[in-house]
A and B are shown apart, each in its own frame.
Chain A
């Protein structure tokens, strides 16, 4: 049925043409309801009354911590749901910026939980426009150890960066092989910032928090430069390096951040059509990667990084395959649990494909969560309620996967929080697939799988 296998004539690369589920037609936009037999919708929560309900989503991983964090986007808030009873998510905590009616911006965008010692924390990224209160506020950090008792949740820090008003769009919490818990953030400069979260939660001198920066080596000079949009940080067990995979204006780049105070550039991925680079997620071993570019009609691209990871290739510019839910739309964020890729596919909702054969991605399941009018997505400005007139940026924004049991959560900009399970996917451990057990999920107690200190316990 749906899956587009139509190769994008815009890019027309032969290597792309052989990917995706061949021979399938796309449905009419008004027929995008429900899902595949393999995908089971467990729960749906309409979490806000307005037109825009959510940006990204985060799910805790440890047993006994059934908490899902929904970033409230232009509602400027964070909601924490207890999904112990998966069919009935329960709102257990709600935070909103003070004086929300006086703030202007896109608000609560990305969230990550992290753990230091016995304590659990959640960091919420925020974006407020210049002229608004808190234009210098990038993130708020909460101690959430006491959940589900909302009275025990405490704000412990606010990360401000007045040098570049506009806040942090995306963030990534990383348990570094040296034992520190780091926060990588986007910012309105040609670099990503690196904060030591151990200092953020314990050191009252905010000047000590920022420990490094990763430059964007591919600024898109035609439009005035630009920084990173999103990134992934993972441990390379083969080379014993902590690696930063950044996507930003101008292209993608990979850095050795084993010493985050002095990152070293490894290679780039650039080329025609890749200027609006959005997301860059490698396989657990770093051999392959999935990338997104943010414009209508573009597919997710699949890359073989071997020649750059292990040889002298400095730049890659030819993907080995591509996948899209519907060539007329745009697929957004994704989580890789090799060989599965879980995609929050904007108007095409929850999608899962696999890379068992990386040159031939295969769709495994889907569920349409947006049920929206095609093309009337996010845009405009706060004065018109951020309503665009020619935008496919609406629907499924973020997705997360619980490794221990395979629960899938998704945030939809138009419809809110969704929980799913996929037939046959009962959880994920990289070792089951001959890979390091490395994904966006961090082992905060032991460090990255394969690192010399992996068994050393938490900080």
Chain B
């Protein structure tokens, strides 16, 4: 089956949203939950905020709906937002989110996943509960130059 081609095509299909938007996808734990995030440059006197080592620094504006009461999923009291590296080796807590729009900061990784988990403690500093919503930063969809379809025909 040419699933590899299909999968590659899916990369390009993605969302119709812009380069600062992240679609959030529900998991089986709360399939009706919906969400969307928008990356907004963090406050900076220069307009574009960057870290000392040059990574963009974003506030994350999360709009969520149909999040069930955390306690309905188990012994949980809050939904906590995390930014993780794409290999899941680094996790940074952004804060607590509820239904409606919440702005949290800052996301400062080059490519990252946005993960919302149900947690027993709203002040949790390490993730332990189930994933409820998740999405990938627009930068995460950028392809390696070598594997871009346009360049596969070049002799190597």
Give A residues with C-beta under 8 Å from B: 55, 98-99, 101-102, 104-106, 109, 127, 129-135, 163-166, 169, 186, 188-191, 219-221, 223-227, 229, 276, 278, 294, 332, 378-383, 386, 393, 397
Give B residues with C-beta under 8 Å from A: 1-4, 6-11, 13-15, 23, 25, 27-28, 84, 86-88, 111, 113, 115, 131, 134, 136-137, 140-144, 146-147, 149-156
Known: A102-B134, A190-B152, A378-B1. A130 touches B6 (CB 8 A): no
Asked whether B152 lies within 8 Å of A294 as measured between CB atoms, the reply is no
Which of B7, B8, B28, B153 sits near A190, CB closer than 8 Å?
B153
CB-defined contacts of B27 to chain A, threshold 8 Å? 101
Question: Complex Cα distance A278/B4, Å?
Answer: 11
Interchain residue pairs with CB less than 8 A apart (30)? A55-B1, A98-B88, A101-B134, A102-B84, A106-B4, A131-B111, A131-B136, A132-B136, A135-B86, A163-B146, A163-B147, A164-B146, A166-B7, A166-B147, A186-B4, A189-B147, A189-B156, A190-B152, A220-B153, A225-B149, A225-B154, A226-B152, A226-B153, A229-B4, A294-B1, A294-B2, A381-B13, A382-B10, A383-B25, A393-B3
Known: A127-B7, A189-B152, A332-B1. A164 touches B134 (CB 8 A): no
Known: A102-B131, A223-B149, A224-B149. A381 touches B4 (CB 8 A): no
CB-defined contacts of B141 to chain A, threshold 8 Å? 130-131
CB-defined contacts of A224 to chain B, threshold 8 Å? 149-153
CB-defined contacts of B150 to chain A, threshold 8 Å? 224
Question: Complex Cα distance A166/B11, Å?
Answer: 11
Question: Complex Cα distance A220/B149, Å?
Answer: 11
Asked whether A378 lies within 8 Å of B3 as measured between CB atoms, the reply is yes
Question: Complex Cα distance A332/B155, Å?
Answer: 30
Asked whether B152 lies within 8 Å of A133 as measured between CB atoms, the reply is no
The 3 closest A-B CB pairs, nearest first, are A225-B153, A225-B152, A131-B140
Question: Complex Cα distance A221/B153, Å?
Answer: 6
Known: A383-B23, A397-B1. A102 touches B6 (CB 8 A): no
